[in-house]
Amino acid sequence: MGGKSMRKYLIRDNVPKVILLNHLLLLWFISACAYVGFITYYDPITYKSLTDLKPEVMALYGTFTTDSVDASQIAATRLKLAQIYEYEKGKGEKNRETYEQIKKIQAMFERHVSDRLTTGRWTTTHLNNQKQNIAEAFDIAIKTERLKNKNE
Amino acid sequence: MGSKWEDFIDNLRDEAGKLAKDELKDLIKTAKDDSEDFIKEQGQKLEIYLTQLASGQITKNQFEGYVLDIKELTEMKALQMSVAAKASAQRMVNGITDLIIDGLLMLI
């Protein structure tokens, strides 16, 4: 049987088997990609860490309208952010989006704190603007964690 | 006559021609009209900040800080969208594996 006839035979008489094989190969490929390239599953520890820290940061910012600065509270918040970052980074590249988000929250926090320390106490307008932005940063990271699938 | 923030941009002295004033105004207006809520909100915030700057409620340095905040928030949002897409694909793959490969095909 020649090549063309063979192809016609395979295609005409064995269509279901050929299609099935192709689909199985495709599914195997997708599964391999899933193992390698997707994302981490939802982590309740991550969710709780972020939801707990957000009000702490809001409370800290509230003190920035006064003359005194609580350096220990700033340091404690900085430490918690660093701990969250290391925890997320430890999950590897499949968690890249989350640890990159934490890094941005850290950068925003540092910029805000530096502003307070160098320019003095905040006005109400400035406080509200800063709070709105850092709160939104936390909200984005919290929602991102909720978007992840549960490992069931 | 435009709004306070538009007048503020128009009245900025820009002898070197560094600022594309019309493009900036269009950027903000387009963002405010965007169908995506997040983009719309950032456009509204920019308008608020410019109005505050124009009326002296905030300083130039503070305004610059807010703009960096918006940039970072937008980058965070892009990361969130990446997670959403990957989670959706992951659900598809898990469904295919569990329901079709391990389920349906075993019965055929």
Which tens digit of pLDDT belongs to each residue from B72-95? 999 999 999 999 999 999 999 988
Give how far A88 is from chain B: nearest CA, Å. 14
Residues A71, A118, single domain; the answer is yes
The per-residue pLDDT for A58 is: 98
Residues A79, A143, single domain; the answer is yes
Q: What is the mean pLDDT of chain B?
A: 88
The per-residue pLDDT for A18 is: 65
Tell whether A20 is covered by a domain: yes
Task: Report yes or no: A111 and A65 within 8 Å, Cβ to Cβ.
Answer: no
Residues A109, A141, single domain; the answer is yes
List the one residue out of A59, A86, A84 whose CA is nearest residue A74.
A59
A119: chain B residues, CB-CB within 8 Å: 59, 61
Nearest residue, CB atoms, B65 vs list A101, A111, A149: A111
Tell whether A59 is covered by a domain: yes
Residues A95 and B48: their CA atoms lie apart, in Å, by: 35
CB contact under 8 A, A104 and B76: yes
The per-residue pLDDT for A109 is: 98
Tokens at B15, concatenated: 């002898």
In this prediction, what percent of chain B has a pLDDT beyond 90?
A: 52
User: Which whole number is the average pLDDT over B19-43?
Assistant: 88
Q: State the pLDDT confidence band at A121, using cuts at 50, 70 and 90.
A: very high
Query: In the predicted model, is pLDDT for residue A63 greater than 90?
Result: yes
Give how far A19 is from chain B: nearest CA, Å. 13
Query: In the predicted model, is pLDDT for residue B17 greater than 90?
Result: no
Residues A95, A125, single domain; the answer is yes
pTM: 0.82
Give the count of domains, chain A. Answer: 2
The per-residue pLDDT for A38 is: 86
Residues A52, A86, single domain; the answer is yes
Q: Which residues form the domain of A21?
A: 3-37
Half-sphere exposure in the Cβ direction for A115 (13 Å, CA): 26
Q: State the pLDDT confidence band at A22, using cuts at 50, 70 and 90.
A: low
The per-residue pLDDT for A101 is: 98
The per-residue pLDDT for A29 is: 55
Tell whether A152 is covered by a domain: no
Residues A89, A124, single domain; the answer is yes
Residues A31, A50, single domain; the answer is no
Q: Between vectors from CA B57 to CA B51 and to CA B58, what angle results, nearest 5°?
A: 90
Instruction: Kindly report which listed range (B12-21, B49-58, B67-76, B78-87) carries the lowest average pLDDT score.
Output: B12-21
Q: State the pLDDT confidence band at B22, using cuts at 50, 70 and 90.
A: confident
Residues B72 and A101: their CA atoms lie apart, in Å, by: 9
Query: In the predicted model, is pLDDT for residue A45 greater than 70?
Result: yes
The per-residue pLDDT for B21 is: 81
Q: Position A22: which residue type?
A: N
The per-residue pLDDT for A20 is: 65
B13 Cβ neighbours under 8 A, 6+ residues apart: none
List the one residue out of B72, B78, B29 whose CA is nearest residue B50.
B29
Residue B61 CB burial class (10 angstroms; 0-12, 13-18, ≥19): exposed
Query: In the predicted model, is pLDDT for residue B18 greater than 60?
Result: yes
Residues A61, A12, single domain; the answer is no
Residues A34 and A40: their CA atoms lie apart, in Å, by: 11
Give how far A2 is from chain B: nearest CA, Å. 32
